[in-house]
Amino acid sequence: MSDYREVNRANWDERVPAHVASPSYHVDDFLSDPSYLSEVVRFDQPRLGDVSGLRGVHLQCHIGTDTVSLARLGARMSALDFSEPAVEQGRSLAARLGLSVDFHVADAYDAVRVLGASAYDFVYTGIGALCWLPDIDRWAQVVAGLLKPGGRLFVREGHPMLWALDAGPEVPEVRFPYFETAEPIVWDEGGTYVQTEAEFTTTVTHEWNHGLGETITAVQKAGLVFDSLTDHDSAPWNALPGLMTEDAEGEWRLTENPHRLAATYTLQAHKPTQ
pLDDT in tens, 114-123: 999 999 999 9
Q: Distance between CA atoms of 227 and 57, rounded to whole angstroms?
A: 19
Q: What is the pLDDT of residues 154-187, one digit of tens each?
A: 999 999 999 999 987 778 899 999 999 999 999 9
Mean pLDDT of the 54-66 span = 98
pLDDT at residue 65 is higher than 90: yes
Q: In terms of Cα–Cα distance, which of 106, 83, 93 is closest to 12? A: 83
pLDDT at residue 45 is higher than 90: yes
Q: In terms of Cα–Cα distance, which of 69, 71, 65, 70 is closest to 87? A: 65
Q: What pLDDT, on the 0 to 100 scale, is given for residue 2?
A: 59
Q: What is the pLDDT of residues 230-241, one digit of tens each?
A: 999 999 999 999
pLDDT at residue 1 is higher than 50: no
Q: Distance between CA atoms of 244 and 241, rounded to whole angstroms?
A: 6
Q: What is the pLDDT of residues 121-161, one digit of tens each?
A: 999 999 999 999 999 999 999 999 999 999 999 999 999 99
Buried b (16+ CB within 10 A) or exposed e, 140-149: bbbbbbbbbe
